[in-house]
Every structure is written in C-alpha cells, then in structure tokens.
C-alpha cells in the first residue's frame, strides 16, 4: 500500500492508528485491572477531561482507577509496553491543568486508594495512601489532638497525592511550612513501574534529597503510592484579628511589618473589597464590606502566648492605619471569620459567570506596589479582578472575572493573567505560587527561567522518565517553545503551539 498523502488520508490513518492503540490498550488494561476499575466510554471519561482549570479540556483514551499498589504498577508497565502516556490524577481540583489528559494517553486516578494506613501519635506521623483527602488526615488524627498543618482551601476535596505533586500551601503554611516541609517520606512508582522510597521517617535520609525534587514535580516524575506526613499538636487556643483598611496599599504595608516585628502569625491573609462583597452575602462571616481591604491575622498557641501576640499584632495594625480591628471572641467566631476566606473562590461565581484564578508569589515588601499594578492592568484589559490571598507568604491569587460567552473575553483574561505573572517576576517573585505550572504557565516559565535552567529541568525529567511517559508536556516548556515565546513577544502573539490544546472558550 502507498503512503497516504492527502489530508483526509492522513486523518483516516491517524484515526485507524488510534483505534488500534485503543483496542490494544483495552486488552492490556483489562488483563491487569478488574472492569469496575476502568472507564472507556465517553460518557464515563468526560468528567476527567479537565481539572479546576476548566477552560482547557481533552478527553483521555481511558481512565484507570486502581485500588492498590500492584495495580498501579501493572498499569504503568502495560502503558510503557504500548508507549501510551499517563496523566496521574487525585481529586482534579488543580487550577493549572496539571491533571488534564493528553490526547493519546490515559488518566491514572489514585482516588480509590484512600486508606489511612497508620496514625502514630507518639512519632506524630500519619501514613496514608495517595487518595486520602487532605482534611481526612486531620479528622483521623483529631482524637490524638494532632492535625496535618498544610491546609489548601480545597482541603475538603483535594488528595495528599495531588498536594505532594503540587507542593500545596494554605493559610497555616506561613507558620508551619508548605507540603514539602511536612512530608517525611514518599513511596512512589516510576514510569517503568519500579517502586522507590524517598525520604525517611527519621530526621534525615541518606543520599541525595530526591524527596525535595519529587515534591512539586506535578506528576511528571512518578506516581505517589503512599506518604508519611508530620502531624502537629492542636494548639490549645487560636484567635484571629480582622482589621479593616481604607486602601489596599495601606492594608498591604503592615503584612511585612507584622513579620518584621518578630511575629510569625498562624495565618495572615488579605481580601480586597470586591472579594469581601462577593463572599459576605454567601457565608455571612461578618466582614466589613465598606473597607477597601481586610487583613485576617491569626495567632495560635498557649492562651498567654495568643493574648500577647494578638495585642502586639493589633498594635502594628493600628499604627499602620487600620480603620477597625475586631478580635474573634470564641472558636465559633474564629471559624466564621475564616469561613469567608475559605469560600472566596466559589463565591466568585455569584458575581461573575466565570473566573480565572492566577497564582504568583512576590516578596512581602512589594505587595502594595504589585497590587497597584494589578489594578492598572484591570483597567488596561477591561476586566474586573478580586484579590484574596496568602498575604504573609506574598502568594497572590488574583481572581480575574470574565464571561466565557462574550467573544474574546477568555483570551483577554489569559493575557491579563500572563501580565500579572510578568509583574510578579519583575518584582523579584515567581510565577509558581502554589498551584503549579501545569499547562497554564508554560509560557510564563520561559519568562522566568533562562534556557540553561529550563535545560536542567528537562534533564531531571529525563533522568526519572526517559521515555516521557508521565504527564508529558506539562510544567516544563520545551526549549523550542521558549525560543518561540521570545520571538512571539516581538511578533505580537502570532505563534501557536500545536501540542498544547487551545482553550475551549478562546
Ligand atoms: C476552590 C479551590 C481552592 C484551592 N485552594 C488552594 C490553596 O489554598 N492552596 C493550594 O496550594 N492549592 C489550592 N487549590 C488547588 C488544588 O486544590 C491543589 O493543587 C491540590 O493539591 C490538588 O490536589 P488534587 O488531589 O485535586 O490533585 P489533581 O488536581 O488531581 O492533580 C494535581 C497534580 O497532581 C498530580 N497528581 C495527582 N495525584 C498524583 C499521584 N498520586 N501521584 C503523582 N502525581 C499526582 C497530577 O498529575 C497533577 O499534576 C485550590 C483549588 C480549588 C478548586
């Protein structure tokens, strides 16, 4: 038979290849997993076409939902044999497209591996399977008056496998550290299906610190099979201050002042007026909706420590010009103050058909200047933006409000987002806050890193996964893409990248 040459022949040949791959894949997967752990039909795989970044979608060839380690390994080996790429997935709450499928690949969800293996109250550790939800760890440890400190706002749903892959943060991470600082040991499967232990339950592990390389690697280096995490004692007391400011700039300055006064709050978060107004009717947290900005500053510890810290933080906030300061009077009020912050993202749906959550980090001292810059960009791009974020960490979460049905608005929101990240880099910050790079920030990686640095990332990926089986085309841009990105800036957005799916709303 002659080689196909017309467009339609090429398309038909590609479709025939895909049918053959799918048939071989179906046979191979059914040989290693029971039928109830596999999804092939479009109506079943459709829910896996995207993560929380819903603008980008791609149906996978199949979804595998293994129930144990042996099944994960078997799936990895079957896919390696057939050269079918694998996208690991937890709860799919990621916001950068990290768990979005690739067209010729499968999704490997670890959501069914959701057993708490052990709580060791003496060692203050929990050993859990990857599909255990973040909040479920604290719930399981509560009887020992212990909890797992990193607390993403999605903690009711997101899994520890996803948290490790994204190095997730949360309100408590300013004081207690990110996921990286709270994970002691990970057992993972490589793309070849070999099981490797990283880290240890002791204070240090021999050899190179591969655990630090693995945490935050966005499902590209291996599949988390089990993790041992630190638990910390539940503080006997916690109180939160809610301080109002009449300008965002005046609210931003005391963030660095609190920390330079020698206080590490258990949480230091900011919400601007747009955020407070969108969330208040929803949760009735008692927010001052006239304030231009609200700071929430938490202290936890022994009652005397909390009392002293709250007094010191209140003094710093008052000196900075707070127009009102309220301190939670009991646990119910403390939780109410936080409930608005925790529900801010979903509340955005009340005031806008769609929102696009950006995520970048800057030095705390530059907060006022960068927030002012974001305001100016909102005017330039003609879109509203709500700011609600981990101020103490300098981790911004501008929520760009747009209407996907209005022609061109999503494209404008994306450009606005890219401009915010460029602002973060220019202020000495980083484009990778806590939501990872995924597919969303590939171009911004080219903005932040040199060619040599990107080449080093590619070399690490190659060392773990030479055949590029695991989550290919995520998190690390190709050198070609970065070269094109440089030119694109000159050529006014004319370059396209064929291997990255286009946004559905674009
Ligand atoms: C309302 C809302 C609030 C949020 N708030 C925060 C916040 O405060 N802080 C924060 O950091 N994030 C936040 N996020 C983002 C998201 O919840 C986190 O990134 C979370 O860690 C993702 O976990 P997941 O289980 O949903 O992972 P998924 O979205 O399924 O996957 C995320 C990444 O992890 C990889 N992965 C998943 N499981 C495994 C595994 N077993 N082995 C290897 N790789 C794996 C995937 O390939 C993907 O790259 C929020 C999201 C939403 C929707």
Q: CA-CA distance, 226 to 115, in Å (whole number)? A: 10
Q: Where in the chain is the domain with CATH 3.30.465.10?
A: 116-233
Handedness of CA 440, 446, 450, 453 (dihedral sign): positive
Q: Read off the pLDDT of each residue in 208-213 and give the average, rounded to a whole number.
A: 96
Q: Quick one: tokens of 57?
A: 């979608």
Which residue from 51, 55, 85, 94 has its CB within 8 A of the most atoms of ligand 1, so it is best to mutate? Answer: 94
β-bridge pairing 183-189 and 195-199: antiparallel
Q: CA-CA distance, 490 to 339, in Å (whole number)? A: 45
How far away, in angstroms, is 90 Cα from ligand 1 center?
A: 7
Q: Where in the chain is the domain with CATH 3.30.43.10?
A: 24-109
Q: 64-94: per-residue pLDDT in tens?
A: 999 999 999 999 999 999 999 999 999 999 9
Instruction: Give the model's pLDDT for residue 486.
Output: 65
Instruction: Give the model's pLDDT for residue 350.
Output: 86
The residue among 20 and 334 whose pLDDT is bigger is 334
Query: Over 80: is that where the pLDDT of 461 sits?
Result: yes
The residue among 264 and 345 whose pLDDT is bigger is 264
pLDDT grade for 174, boundaries at 50, 70 and 90: very high
Which residue from 73, 106, 158 has its CB within 8 A of the most atoms of ligand 1, so it is best to mutate? Answer: 158
pLDDT grade for 499, boundaries at 50, 70 and 90: very low
Three-state secondary structure string covering 61-100:
CEEECCCCHHHHHHHHHHHHHHCCCEEEECCCCCCCCCCC
237-346: what CATH class? alpha beta
In this structure, how many other beta carbons lie within 10 angstroms of the beta carbon of residue 112?
Answer: 16
pLDDT grade for 495, boundaries at 50, 70 and 90: very low
Which atom of ligand 1 sits closest to the CA of residue 346? 1
Instruction: Give the model's pLDDT for residue 205.
Output: 85
Q: Which fold has domain 356-490?
A: Alpha-Beta Plaits (3.30.70)
Rounded to the nearest 5°, which phi and psi values hold at 109? -95, 130
Please measure the distance between the N-terminal and C-terminal CA atoms of the chain and give it in whole angstroms.
40
Q: 215-269: per-residue pLDDT in tens?
A: 999 999 999 999 999 999 999 999 999 999 999 989 998 999 999 999 999 999 9
Which atom of ligand 1 sits closest to the CA of residue 131? 41
Instruction: Give the model's pLDDT for residue 349.
Output: 86
Residue 111 per-residue DSSP state: T
Which atom of ligand 1 sits closest to the CA of residue 390? 8
Mean pLDDT rounded to a whole number for the chain: 92
24-109: what CATH class? alpha beta
Cβ-contact 403, 393 below 8 angstroms: no
- Say what percent of the chain tops pLDDT 70: 95
Q: Whose CA is nearest to atom 44 of ligand 1?
A: 219
Instruction: Give the model's pLDDT for residue 490.
Output: 40
pLDDT grade for 506, boundaries at 50, 70 and 90: very low
Instruction: Give the model's pLDDT for residue 346.
Output: 86
Residue 133 per-residue DSSP state: B
Q: Read off the pLDDT of each residue in 108-125 and give the average, rounded to a whole number.
A: 98
Q: Where in the chain is the domain with CATH 3.30.70.3450?
A: 237-346
How far away, in angstroms, is 164 Cα from ligand 1 center?
A: 8
How far away, in angstroms, is 2 Cα from ligand 1 center?
A: 47
Strands (DSSP E) found in 157-219: 183-189, 195-199
How far away, in angstroms, is 434 Cα from ligand 1 center?
A: 9
Q: How many CA atoms, within 13 angstroms, populate the side-chain half-sphere of residue 143?
A: 6
How far away, in angstroms, is 1 Cα from ligand 1 center?
A: 48
CATH architecture for segment(s) 116-233: 2-Layer Sandwich (3.30)
Q: Read off the pLDDT of each residue in 181-188 and give the average, rounded to a whole number.
A: 97
Instruction: Give the model's pLDDT for residue 487.
Output: 53
Instruction: Give the model's pLDDT for residue 4.
Output: 59
How far away, in angstroms, is 8 Cα from ligand 1 center?
A: 40
Q: Which residues line ligand 1 (CB under 6 A)?
A: 51-52, 87-95, 98-99, 110, 130, 152-154, 158-159, 161-163, 165-166, 168-170, 218-219, 223-224, 345, 434-435, 471
Q: Where in the chain is the domain with CATH 3.30.70.2740?
A: 356-490
Q: Read off the pLDDT of each residue in 276-305 and give the average, rounded to a whole number.
A: 94
Query: Over 50: is that where the pLDDT of 500 sits?
Result: no
Q: 11-32: per-residue pLDDT in tens?
A: 898 888 888 888 999 999 999 9
How far away, in angstroms, is 23 Cα from ligand 1 center?
A: 31
Instruction: Give the model's pLDDT for residue 494.
Output: 46
Q: Read off the pLDDT of each residue in 404-420 and give the average, rounded to a whole number.
A: 93
How far away, in angstroms, is 92 Cα from ligand 1 center?
A: 6
Instruction: Give the model's pLDDT for residue 498.
Output: 45
Q: Quick one: tokens of 321?
A: 């010009």
Q: 187-207: per-residue pLDDT in tens?
A: 999 999 999 999 999 878 889
Which atom of ligand 1 sits closest to the CA of residue 434? 11
Return the H-helix or E-strand segment holding 257. helix 248-260
pLDDT grade for 298, boundaries at 50, 70 and 90: very high
């Amino acid at each position: 038979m002659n080689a196909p040459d017309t467009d339609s022949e090429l398309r038909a040949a590609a479709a025939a290849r895909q049918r053959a791959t799918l048939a071989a894949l179906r046979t191979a997967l059914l040989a290693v997993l029971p039928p109830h752990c596999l999804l092939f039909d479009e109506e079943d795989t459709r829910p896996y076409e995207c993560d929380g970044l819903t603008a980008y979608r791609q149906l996978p060839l199949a979804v595998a939902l293994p129930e144990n380690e042996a099944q994960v390994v078997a799936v990895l080996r079957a896919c390696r044999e057939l050269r079918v790429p694998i996208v690991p997935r937890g709860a799919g709450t990621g916001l950068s497209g990290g768990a979005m499928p690739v067209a010729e690949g499968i999704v490997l969800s670890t959501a069914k591996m959701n057993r708490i293996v052990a709580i060791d109250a003496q060692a203050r550790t929990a050993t859990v399977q990857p599909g255990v939800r973040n909040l479920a760890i604290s719930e399981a440890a509560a009887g020992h008056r212990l909890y797992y400190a990193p607390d993403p706002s999605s903690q009711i749903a997101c899994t520890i496998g996803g948290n490790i892959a994204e190095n997730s943060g949360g309100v408590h991470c300013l004081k207690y550290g990110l996921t990286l600082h709270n994970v002691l040991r990970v057992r993972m499967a490589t793309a070849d299906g070999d099981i490797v232990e990283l880290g240890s339950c002791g204070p240090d592990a021999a050899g190179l610190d591969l655990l630090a390389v693995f945490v935050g690697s966005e499902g590209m280096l291996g599949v988390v099979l089990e993790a041992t995490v630190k638990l910390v004692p539940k503080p006997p007391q916690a109180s939160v201050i809610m301080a109002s400011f009449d300008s965002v700039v005046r609210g931003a300055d005391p963030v660095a002042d609190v920390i330079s006064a020698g206080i590490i709050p258990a949480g230091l978060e900011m919400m601007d007026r747009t955020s407070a107004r969108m969330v208040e009717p929803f949760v009735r947290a008692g927010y001052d909706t006239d304030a231009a900005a609200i700071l929430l500053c938490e202290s936890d510890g022994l009652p005397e420590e909390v009392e002293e810290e709250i007094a010191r933080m209140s003094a710093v906030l008052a000196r900075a010009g707070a127009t009102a300061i309220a301190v939670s009077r009991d646990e119910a009020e403390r939780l109410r103050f936080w409930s608005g912050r925790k529900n801010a993202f979903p509340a955005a749906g009340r005031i806008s058909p769609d929102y696009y959550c950006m995520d970048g980090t800057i030095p705390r001292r530059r907060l006022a200047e960068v927030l002012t810059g974001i305001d100016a960009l909102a005017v330039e791009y003609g879109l509203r933006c709500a700011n609600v974020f981990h101020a103490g960490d300098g981790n911004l979460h501008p929520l760009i409000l747009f209407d996907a049905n209005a022609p061109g608005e999503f494209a404008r929101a994306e450009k606005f987002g890219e401009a915010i990240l460029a602002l973060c880099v220019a202020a000495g910050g980083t484009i990778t806050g806590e939501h990872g790079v995924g597919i969303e920030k590939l171009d911004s990686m080219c903005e932040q890193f040199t060619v040599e640095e990107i080449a080093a990332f590619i070399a690490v990926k190659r060392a773990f996964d030479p055949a590029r089986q695991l989550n290919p085309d995520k998190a690390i841009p190709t050198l070609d893409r970065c070269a094109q990105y440089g030119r694109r800036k000159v050529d006014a957005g004319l370059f396209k990248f064929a291997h990255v799916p286009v946004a559905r709303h674009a």
